[in-house]
Amino acid sequence: DTAVSQTPKYLVTQMGNDKSIKCEQNLGHDTMYWYKQDSKKFLKIMFSYNNKELIINETVPNRFSPKSPDKAHLNLHINSLELGDSAVYFCASRHSSNAGLAKNIQYFGAGTRLSVL
Residues engaged in binding another protein (CB under 8 A): 4, 33, 40-45, 48, 56, 90, 92, 101, 104-111, 113
The nearest distance, CB 16 to another protein, in angstroms, is: 27
Least CB distance to another protein at residue 82 (A): 23
Q: Of 61, 57, 55, nearest to 78 (Cα)?
A: 61
SS3 91: strand
Q: Based on CB atoms, which residue is closest to another protein, 15 or 55?
A: 55
> In the complex, what is the shortest distance from the CB of residue 86 to another protein, in angstroms, rounded to a whole number?
15
Specify whether the CB–CB gap between 44 and 36 falls below 8 A: yes
The smaller minimum CB distance to another protein, of residues 14 and 101, is found at 101
Residue whose C-alpha is closest to residue 61's, from 86, 81, 43, 37: 81
Closest CA to 90 of 70, 106, 69: 106
